[in-house]
Structure 1
Amino acid sequence: MTKLYTKDEIIAKSHEIAHMIANTEEVEFFKRAEAQINENQKVREKIASLKSLQKQAVNFQHYSKERALNLVEGKIEAIEKELDEMPIVEEFKNSQVDVNDLLQLVSNTIANNVTNEVIRSTDGDVLRGETGSRVKNETYGSSCS
């Protein structure tokens, strides 16, 4: 008989996986890139300006001040462009993508394997993505009509 797991056991295992992910090259690179950004005064100043302009934009939008909003949005775009052109910011954004890709890979792998386990445990067809219970229900369903 197959062992049944509790939610607590699964959560405990997820903590173990989270610890493993937090100690990968991708996450280490992300942490270093983030630290470099936080230590860079030019980046910090641009981010502070950006946040201030974004607050202004929200206020202008709230009070329907279209011209002022358009001016502020132009300034926001210019600062974002400057930030995006900085190698340190590009490295940071790339590291974010790498970490997100790793998390997505783990999530998809778990989801796909759960689906396949369910299909196999019901004597279904993994290649067709059908559980065995569906095949049985179709047989029963046709005789009830």
Structure 2
Amino acid sequence: MEKLYTKDEIIAKAREIAHMIANTEQVEFFKRAEAQINENQKIREKIASLKSLQTQAVNFQAYEKERALAIIEGKIEKIQEEIDEVPIVQEFKQSQVEVNDLLQLVSTTIANSVTDEIIESTGGNVLKGETGSYVENTQRKSLS
């Protein structure tokens, strides 16, 4: 009989995988890019302006000041575009996508592998995605 794992053992392995992911090239680049953005005075000023404008937008929205809100939203969009044009910001956003893709890949791989193992361990058909009990029950029904 195969070893049965406890929830604690699985969580320990998950932490090990998290540690591995946190020490990939993608995450290292992400951290360096974030540090460069935080060290860039112009970007920091633009982000501060952006936050201030966003606060004003929330207030205008609460008081239903549509014209003022539209003007503020235009300014927010302009500053956001200026920030996005900075190469290090583009690289940072790309690294975010790569890290998220890696996390998604790990999550999907785990989910698919668990499903496949359940199907295989019950004598099912992986290609059809049917467990052994499903196959057994459908065969019984077709025989009766």
User: Normalising to structure 1: TM-score of the pair?
Assistant: 0.95
Question: Residue 99 of structure 2 corresponds to which residue in structure 1?
Answer: 99
Equivalents in 1 of 2:15, 2:141: separation in Å?
43
Question: Residue 30 of structure 2 corresponds to which residue in structure 1?
Answer: 30
Amino acid at match of 2:120: R
SS of 2:124 mapped into structure 1 = coil
Aligned residue pair count: 144
Equivalents in 1 of 2:60, 2:3: separation in Å?
60
How far apart are 1:124 and its partner, in Å? 0.6
Amino acid at match of 1:96: Q
Q: CA RMSD in A?
A: 1.3
Equivalents in 1 of 2:129, 2:143: separation in Å?
24
Q: Which runs of no fewer than 5 residues in structure 1 stay unpaired?
A: none
Does residue 1:122 correspond to 2:122, yes or no? yes
Question: Residue 134 of structure 1 corresponds to which residue in structure 2?
Answer: 134
Off by >3 Å, runs of 4+ in structure 1: 139-144
Question: Residue 21 of structure 1 corresponds to which residue in structure 2?
Answer: 21
Amino acid at match of 1:65: K
How far apart are 1:143 and its partner, in Å? 7.0
How far apart are 1:2 and its partner, in Å? 1.3
Question: Residue 39 of structure 2 corresponds to which residue in structure 1?
Answer: 39
Equivalents in 2 of 1:55, 1:138: separation in Å?
60
SS of 2:49 mapped into structure 1 = helix
How far apart are 1:135 and its partner, in Å? 1.3
Q: How does 1:38-77 map to 2 (within 5 A)?
A: 38-77=38-77
Structure 1 residues 136 and 56: CA distance shift in structure 2, 3 A: same
Cα shift readout 1:74-116 (whole Å, capped 9, x = no counterpart)? 0000001111111011011011011101111111111110010
How far apart are 1:140 and its partner, in Å? 4.2
Question: Residue 109 of structure 2 corresponds to which residue in structure 1?
Answer: 109
How far apart are 1:142 and its partner, in Å? 5.6
How far apart are 1:3 and its partner, in Å? 1.0
How far apart are 1:137 and its partner, in Å? 2.3
Cα shift readout 1:122-141 (whole Å, capped 9, x = no counterpart)? 11111111111111222345
User: Normalising to structure 2: TM-score of the pair?
Assistant: 0.95
Equivalents in 2 of 1:74, 1:110: separation in Å?
43
Amino acid at match of 1:69: L
